[in-house]
């Protein structure tokens, strides 16, 4: 079950989407861009579904602000616009998919499944040769061993995997794995990285001195 934040100010469409999405997922809905920003700061979501135009702003501006704070949550935009310039703006702001109104619910479901596949949101995630992580039980299986990770170790491994082949800074990890009021010191990240490297191998989590960590 994914946690979805839905920003949609069309009352009829939002009711339809909530009923549909809640069959398989946990859905938080708001009509307001400012409320969506507050919710995203206070909670962790697996997927954003944002309307481009809402009563107090737009989803594009919202996502640009979230991306500026290293929030890489996959995002699907929905819009009534059919002009391709909005498609370009959606992807330029950091969006991952785009769906035009009116649309069939089956199309939205297919797009969500595609997001899950590409961002490791399925329960079992293949993270390397003969290595898989169950994101619900936090069990990491390798060819020779089975490790019971802590929830935070599992969360960090998943985050590094989602951003593989780029350097992720300690500050980025802190901002995305902990709530603002509960931020620990950078030592907490180093400790988690040290433990994860025991499980997956030092060759998979590279320490880039002075910059951060890269998953390969």
As to burial, measured by CB atoms within 10 angstroms (0-12 exposed, 13-18 middle, 19+ buried), residue 39 is: middle
Report the Cα 76 to chain-centroid distance in Å: 11
Task: Beginning with the edge strand found earlier in the chain, give each strand of the sheet holding 97-100 in spatial order.
Answer: 26-30, 3-7, 47-51, 75-79, 97-100
- pLDDT for residue 181 is more than 70: no
Question: The domain at 3-118 falls in which architecture?
Answer: 3-Layer(aba) Sandwich (3.40)
As to burial, measured by CB atoms within 10 angstroms (0-12 exposed, 13-18 middle, 19+ buried), residue 76 is: buried
Model pLDDT for residues 67-125, shown as the tens digit of each residue:
998 888 999 999 888 778 888 888 899 999 999 999 999 999 999 998 887 776 767 77
Please provide the DSSP assignment of 123-171 as one string. Answer: SEEEEETTEEEETTTTEEE-SS-EEE--HHHHHHHHHHHHTTTS-B-HH
How far apart CA 50 and CA 9 sit, in angstroms, is 10
Secondary structure of residue 53 in the 3-state scheme: strand
Model pLDDT for residues 30-83, shown as the tens digit of each residue:
999 999 999 998 888 989 999 998 989 999 999 999 999 888 899 999 988 877
Under 8 Å between Cβ of 163 and 212: no
Q: Which two tokens stand for residue 135?
A: 């994101």
- pTM across the whole model: 0.65
Task: Please state the domain extents for the chain.
Answer: 3-118, 124-215
What dotted CATH number matches 124-215? 1.10.10.10
* CA distances, 131 to each of 5, 116, 127, 196 (Å): 31, 19, 6, 13
């Amino acid at each position: 079950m994914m946690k979805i934040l839905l920003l949609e100010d069309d009352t009829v469409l939002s009711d339809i989407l909530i009923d549909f999405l809640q069959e398989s997922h946990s859905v938080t809905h708001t009509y307001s861009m400012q409320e969506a920003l507050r919710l995203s700061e206070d909670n962790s979501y697996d997927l954003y579904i944002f309307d481009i135009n809402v009563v107090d702003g737009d989803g594009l501006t919202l996502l640009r602000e979230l991306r500026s704070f290293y929030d890489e949550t996959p995002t699907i935009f929905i819009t009534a616009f059919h002009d391709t310039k909005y498609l370009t703006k959606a992807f330029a702001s950091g969006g991952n998919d785009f769906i035009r109104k009116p649309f069939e619910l089956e199309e939205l479901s297919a797009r969500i499944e595609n997001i899950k596949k590409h961002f490791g949101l399925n329960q079992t995630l293949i993270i390397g040769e003969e290595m898989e992580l169950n994101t619900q039980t936090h069990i990491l299986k390798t060819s020779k061993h089975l490790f019971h990770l802590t929830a935070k170790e599992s969360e960090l491994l998943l985050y590094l995997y989602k951003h593989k082949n780029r350097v992720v800074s300690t500050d980025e990890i802190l901002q995305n794995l902990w709530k603002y009021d509960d931020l620990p010191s950078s030592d907490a990240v180093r400790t988690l990285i040290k433990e994860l490297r025991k499980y997956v191998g030092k060759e998979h989590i590279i320490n880039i001195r002075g910059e951060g960590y890269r998953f390969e």
